[in-house]
Structure 1
Amino acid sequence: MKFSENWLRSHVPTPATRDELAAMLTAIGLEVEEVKALGDGLAGVVVARILEAERHPQADRLQVCKGDIGRGEPLQIVCGAPNARAGLVAPLATIGANVGGMAIRAARLRGVESNGMLCSARELGLDEDASGLLELPDDAPVGTPLAEYLGLPDASIEIKLPPNRADCFGVRGIAYDVAAAFASEVAPLDVAPVPATGTRALEVRLQAGADAPRFVGRVVENVNASAPTPVWMAERLRRSGVRPVSLLVDITQYVMLELGQPMHAYDLDRLAGPVGVRHSRPGETLELLNGQTADLGQDGAFLVICDGEDGGRAIGLAGIMGGQSTKVGEGTRNVFLEAAHFAPAAIMGRGRRLGLHTDAIHRFERGVDPELPRLAIEYATALVLKLAGGTPGPVTEAVREADLPKPANITLRRARIARVLGIAIPDAEVERILRALGMQVAATAEGWQVVPPSRRFDIAIEEDLIEELARIHGYDRVPTTLPGGPAPITAPGEGVLGEAELRRQLVARDYLEAVSFAFVDGALLRAWNLEQGTVPLANPLSAELAVMRPSLLPGLVDALARNRARQAGRGRLFELGRVFTRAGQAGAAPLETRRVAAVACGPAAAEQWGLPARAVDFHDLKGDLESLAAAAGAALEFRPSTRPYGHPGRSAEVLRTDLEGGPVTLGWIGQLHPRLQKALDLEGEVLAFELDLEPLCRRALPRAEALSRFPAVRRDLAFVVAEDVTWAALAASVRQAAGPVLRDLVLFDRYQGPGVESGCKSLAMGLILQDNTRTLTDQDAESAVERVVSALAREHGARIRG
């Protein structure tokens, strides 16, 4: 929310300086993001009228102007602005003035004297527009100091509002908080009902149930829509971030910014019959004011403003934007003013479905005071009559009282205040704060009965009132008290590998940690073939963030792709985070699983001179994964994987085999499928793994054992097996057959070629045998070898290589 400081001060007088005001707004929860001073140092800048504008004799782009400042002879000014012309009223900096850090003095430009400078809004620090001179109204008093004429100095203040403070989307809403904080009072808003002097009226109808419980309208005939927007209104709009358009539109914007009630003006002569609110109809479309044609879909989710006896024509999107067919313009003679109350749930998310974000959406989604529409109509009518003339008709209103939100009657106990805040606030201060915020307060024996104003949707229970007291009384006045008593310190258990250790391990392996969104694009999941069992969001921020991620890899690979697109040839990223899948029961909360994932591409090692350059491969990533497993003391097994996003033959399921209850699947490792990489526009091989954290991080408690005093025996064996037999399967059989005397198993050679038949391979392994109680004999070793040879022959068709 952006607003003019002077506009705010007109509603709540306070002696506080600008810095004090900004600091207090932040302290009470209305965080000030920017304060832009306007009009400081404009001494010597006056309103001037250009009497003559002739081409410079020595320059095509310069003009020699004569400027009248109401002080005798006109001043000769050399000006390069494209809109400089005779009759234009514009700011003129006289000699001695200082504009934008530049002192104005008499000068000679291309041989012609210049005694001042005609100024643009940007040069004066009033706006970003530097396309030409700041054009002032023709009736601006010549010779008047510009600061006096424009109501300067001033400041444009922008605040960041929390979602529950929709009441502060109007200057008066902010004024109540300022009044409470500075022990002041909000000036009364003098908006007397405008009596009807005409008889013309439009019936208004409600056809949307509780979604639109109030609709107020008024006809004003014979207006001068081409009348200029007065300077005071235009400047307040500019300083609030709104560029003036035309008088009738500016009036509706002005009322919205001051009161917080969005409203709309329709060209009455383009309307037909009663005006109402209904839900959209299947297949209905509407051309909006911005030229966009909105497809309102088939589900009736949108509220539309309609006209005609049967409400057959949609003329605007309720709470979002008006329609092109009934917009006001300079030719408008008769206008219909409309203000309504819409339930926040009926507006939420509708703008995002159309790719729109308007001031009206921003307010209605958060909740607008249901009592404001009639006041807004009266205020806007008064402004129209004052600035554009006209004949007002009677106010017409339709209301469903039962569907309007009602303020709660809340009991506030002084004992509860002291218990929650830890301090006692004097009764007089409690009543002052609550009344300054616009609440009705009645004292009781134990505290107060409080009724919040209708604009405060966020106040419903006692703790909400206590929060208001703490906010205004001052968080800095709540003492800091350390808890008493002993503080138990618990050391982390050794039975779980900590996430910090995982991070350190991956960083030591040359990975960088990434943090990606927990929401992803549904189209991205379809490319990964991961759309089954996903959890879509009911009200997503955008289409790109519409589904909760079922895997870390899509987001992580997307981050890798962004780095590759920015000339990062070697990428190594990891992420620890949650993934979400749909629960089995309808209506149950999504299942959350903690996982770790990593991706790698490009050279295996950073650029250096000691090793030959080569691309990262499956075994590099497998080594990184096994280093994580080693930190947890886990024994892993790898089995061929058929996941659709993995490269066939170059990806594997990862299982942990040392846990009670049998092997547990941890996740997946491998190279991405070439088809997927093409869809993601990724060049080169990309390798990745993703594992569940809970089974990975479990580890057995360390147990100290004495080293064997007896020597180890090694037996080397070479087996010929079918090419499709994996080493993991062979190793499992060897360990089972050899029994407890097998201390270690080493694969030291793999061979295919002459001497080994086609379709087979030779694997050479070393068996390390040792006993803790005695020295193994040759017979012991041979017996173990025989058991291994027999088991491999029986289970895998292996034979000793000759």
Structure 2
Amino acid sequence: MKISENWLRTWVNPEIDSETLSDQLTMLGLEVDEMLPAAQPFSGVVTGEVLTVEQHPDADRLRVTTVNIGSAEPLQIVCGAPNVRVGMKVPVATIGTVLPGDFKIKKGKLRGVESQGMLCGASEIDLEDKIDGLLELAADTPVGLDIREYLKLDDHVIDISITPNRGDCFSIRGVAREIGVINQLPVTAPEISEVAATIADQKKVVVSSEGCPRYLGRVIRKVNTRAATPEWMERALARSGIRQHSILVDITNYVLIELGQPLHAFDADKIQGSVQVRQATATEKLVLLNEQEVELSEDVMIIADDEKALALAGIMGGLSSSVTDETTDVFLESAFFAPLHIAGRARRYGLHTDASQRYERGVDFELPYLAMNRASQLIQQLAGGEFGPVTVEEQIPLLPKREVMELTQQQVDQLLGYAVDGEFIADTLQRLGCEVTVKAVGEWRVVPPSYRYDMSIYQDLIEEIARIHGYDNIQMSLPVMDIRLAKHQDRFEQVQLTQTLVTLGYQEAISFSFADAKLEKQLNPDVRLLMLANPISSELAAMRSTLLSSLIPCVQYNMNRQQNRVRFFELGLRFDYQHARDIQDLKQIPTLAMIAVGAKTTESWHGKAQPMDFFDLKGEVAEILAAARVHATYVPAERAWLHPGQSAEIMVNGQSIGYLGRLHPSLEDMLDLGVTWVAELDQTAVLQTYVSNFTELSRFPSVKRDIALLINDKINVSEIQQLIEKTGGELLDSVWLFDVYTGQGVEEGKRSLAFALLWQHPSRTLEDAEIKSGMDQIIQVLESTYQATLRAS
């Protein structure tokens, strides 16, 4: 947002220079991107009046003029401007003046005629040229004035970057409030008086949309829409980056920049019947002021009459009801539109207007009254007219609520880490517009002002106190340290998890928490998504229920650029809204996701590329869990997006902490991915604390025994292995599967599984009888539990 420093100082004028003012704004959180002079330095240019104009004797395009600049004698100046005429007031550069661009004015002759200065166009004094010729000043301009003082050129244009939470600062009024608070000065607003109704004419207003809690309208007849915009208003708008249009548009723009309230003027004769604020229908269309035709949808709020749509509410007016030079009767609108009913609508149509920018962030819901009076006052002063009464339609229950917040001295000191004077706290909050009631010593009840949507909890108030007290005044102090030693517990940290994944050959991806709703539905048709009210784009319109919806587009992007072997992982949040009643029930789940496409190993001189399979991915996941000291088992997974025969659920203590496996082939084809391996694990289950235990390695020999079983092929190997480990007891050191066989010699429905069992005692050599007893016990339990039989060698 651009504003004039001079305009700002009419509201509040601290005794500081421009650079200090800029620094104060930045430290207040209103970052100044740049501060540029309204005009480059020059001096010696004064206002003058052209007394005579005569043709140059030796040049057809030159005129010889005499100009009064208030000195004893008029100056003779040769001029080539086509618009020079007797009686006009113009800037005059006198001899010795150095104009911008290091252009020096010297006494000289043009085609033999002496010239004692130069008549200036706008560009000569570093202003924008609107015509080809001299800059014509107002007819009542006094002669002999310094042009810098007369045109207020000793000014700066301040370009401020406003953060999304500070919609109240999109105006001179809002910025002045901040400067007044930091300098403990009162803010002097212009005197705004109510313009009394002189006629009874009104337009009926009907509000049916919940997005408009407050709407004000006023009929004004016999307005002189051809009236000239005064130079002071045109100058203020130009330095705010707004071009001059017509008197009514300029007045509404002026109030917008001054107070922060968007206004709109309709041609009253083009409104058929009542003024309606409602939701559009899917069949409606509207041609906007920029001549763009838009197709409306039911979630778009519009202003309409009894026959047609007139404007996109809070965004842009329509061409059919716009004010022109022939307009005499207008309907002036000043309204409060709820931010969520405006957010995203302008972007949908490729628009970004001053009105939508403010409404999306939140406009003061008490401001429409003041803005209506200010605009009416300026219209009466500059364009005349007969004013009807102000029509007010309100839905009070829908207005934003200003809840009471409890604040204590202890909360302030604890959060900031240093003590702030209680009187300063109360005074600061009052200057910021809050209603402050002293509850007890060091305790306050605070109600935020209507223009501060970002104040809702006591921490917001403390942030304001720190901001006004000055971030550079925050004191340095050592924290209080408790030297009592707590019981040490190791923890598998996220950085260790990241290092493990990188070691396995994966690269970290960092994505938005938003996803493409279409891709989410492709992965899981039954998923219930939380949609965003104001998405960045249509491809990022839903809160992701799985990190795969973020990683799959990354893989596609790389594969489309001939990267055929891709390994990505991401640590982030996924959002479970499946069984939520409202937003309060939304679950945010920290998740680790992995995705891999392409070969397990690349082609080289010592071997061909090896394709990746289920066991490669399972081995990588097992390595991660082993590093985290998490003991997991695996059972077949039944998830819609996974291959039913090449996927597994990861179980810890009987609970699923995630899954791994191959994407369903139909999904791979749909997404043009090829064979794709994926895994998702609950981060919380992986990043667990544990106590390290040391066990001395046995110095005594181990004994290995093998066992081959014929067993039902529906039984999970992990279940069999767990049963062997449990039955073997403390003497059984480890068990692993080393052979699986089906085929000739094995009846259908069964398979042969061969396990290796390693027996070892920590403090002595085992006896054969002990090992045989253990083996017999295991075989007996397997036979009784799974009807397993020993396979003959």
Q: Higher mean Cα deviation, 753-762 or 474-483?
A: 753-762
1:169-211 superposed Cα distances (whole Å, 9 cap, x missing partner):
2112211221332344434414455566x74733343545984
| 2: CA distance, partners of 1:357 / 1:373 | 22
Distance 1:453 1:194 in 2: 26
Deviation at 1:626, TM superposition (A): 1.3
Q: CA shift at 1:263, angstroms?
A: 0.5
Aligned position for 2:615: 619
1:366-425 deviations in Å (ceiling 9; x for gaps):
5434554344334334544666x4533334332559667898999999999999986565
Bigger shift: 135-144 or 596-605? Answer: 135-144
**What are the within-5 Å matches in structure 2 for residues 278-297 of structure 1?**
278-280=277-279, 285-287=284-286, 289=288, 290=290, 291-297=292-298
Determine whether 1:140 maps to 2:135: yes
Deviations 1:428-474 (A, max 9, x none): x7898678657899999979999987655667999977765654343
Moved more, 418-427 or 182-191: 418-427
2:514 maps to 1:519: yes
Relative to structure 1, is the Cα distance of residues 698 and 250 closer, same or farther in structure 2, using a 3 angstrom cutoff? same
Mark the CA change 1:604 to 1:92 in structure 2 (over 3 Å): closer, same or farther.
farther
- Give SS of 2:22's match: helix
Higher deviation after alignment, 157-166 or 318-327: 157-166
Equivalent residue runs for 1:88-487 within 5 Å: 99=101, 134-136=129-131, 140-141=135-136, 151-152=152-153, 154-161=155-162, 165-193=166-194, 199=199, 201-205=201-205, 207-208=207-208, 211-225=212-226, 233-234=233-234, 236-275=236-275, 277-280=276-279, 285-287=284-286, 289=288, 290=290, 291-297=292-298, 304-307=302-305, 311=306, 313-342=308-337, 358-384=353-379, 389-398=383-392, 423=419, 425=421, 455=451, 471-477=467-473, 479-484=475-480, 486-487=482-483
- Distance in 2 separating the partners of 1:172 and 1:612: 72
Deviation at 1:707, TM superposition (A): 3.6
Kindly state the Cα deviation for residue 236 of structure 1 after the two structures are TM-superposed: 3.8
Distance 1:563 1:323 in 2: 45
- More deviation in 566-575 or 755-764? 755-764
Matching residue of 2:505: 510
Count of aligned pairs between the two proteins:
741
Give 3-state SS (helix, strand or coil) of 1:326's partner.
coil
Residues 491/699 of structure 1: CA separation in 2 closer, same or farther (3 Å cut): closer
Task: Read off the aligned partner of 2:314 and give its amino acid letter.
Answer: G
Q: Does 2:492 match 1:493? A: no
Unaligned runs of 5+ in 1: 48-64, 77-84, 106-115, 127-132
Structure 1 range deviating more: 228-237 or 433-442:
433-442
Structure 1 length as normaliser, TM-score?
0.74
**Deviation of the 1:697 alpha carbon:** 4.4
What amino acid is the match of 1:510?
Answer: G
What is the distance in 2 between the residues matched to 1:707 and 1:484? 44
Q: Is contact 1:40-1:153 (8 Å) kept?
A: no
Give the root-mean-square deviation of aligned CA atoms: 5.4
Task: Identify if the C-alpha distance between structure 1 residues 449 and 673 changes in structure 2 by more than 3 Å, giving closer, same or farther.
Answer: closer
| Aligned residue type for 1:293 | V
Q: Distance in 2 between matches of 1:450 and 1:710?
A: 75
| Cα pair distance change 1:667/1:220, threshold 3 Å | same
User: Counterpart in 2 of 1:646?
Assistant: 642
Distance 1:561 1:179, change over 3 A: same
The match for 1:687 among 652, 677, 685 is 677
Inter-partner Cα distance in structure 2 for 1:472 and 1:487: 35
- Could you say if the C-alpha distance between residues 758 and 444 of structure 1 is closer, same or farther in structure 2, counting changes exceeding 3 Å? closer
Note the 1:710-749 alignment, pairs <5 A. 710-716=700-706, 727-728=717-718, 731-732=721-722, 734-735=724-725, 740-748=730-738
Note closer, same or farther for the CA distance 1:149–1:288 as it changes in structure 2 (3 Å cut). farther
CA distance in 2, matches of 1:640, 1:444: 62
CA, structure 1 residues 306+616, in 2 after alignment: closer, same or farther (shift >3 Å)?
same
Q: Which amino acid aligns with 1:549?
A: R
CA contact (8 A) 1:286 1:316 kept: no
Q: Which residue of 2 aligns with 1:589?
A: 585
CA separation in 2, counterparts of 1:365 and 1:783? Answer: 78
Quote the residue 1:574 is aligned against.
Answer: 569
Normalised by the length of structure 2, the TM-score is: 0.75
Point out the more displaced range, 171-180 or 483-492. Answer: 483-492
Contact 1:147–1:153 (8 Å) recurs in 2 = yes
State the alpha-carbon separation in 1 of the partners of residues 651 and 460 from structure 2: 52
Determine the C-alpha separation between the residues in 1 that align with 2:644 and 2:445: 71
Look up the SS of the partner of 2:320 in the other structure.
Answer: helix
For residue 607 of structure 1, report the CA deviation from its aligned partner. Answer: 8.9
Distance, in Å, in 1 between the alignment partners of 2:371 and 2:20 is 31
The Cα offsets for residues 116-141 of structure 1, whole Å up to 9 and x where unpaired, read as 9x9999x9998xxxxxx953487723
Retained in 1: the 8 A contact 2:213–2:395?
Answer: no
Residues 318 and 497 of structure 1, relative CA distance in 2, 3 Å threshold: same
* Contiguous gaps of at least 5 residues in structure 2: 48-60, 68-75, 85-89, 106-117, 138-143
Q: Is the 8 A contact 2:202 2:218 kept in 1?
A: yes
Cα distance in 2 for residues equivalent to 1:207 and 1:711: 89
- Cα distance change on mapping 1:748 and 1:98 into 2, 3 Å: farther
Distance 2:126 2:790 in 1: 89
Aligned partner letter, 1:687: W
**Separation in 2 of the partners of 1:791 and 1:465?**
68
Q: Measure, in 2, the Cα distance between the counterparts of 1:104 and 1:624.
A: 78
The alignment partner of 2:678 has SS state of: strand
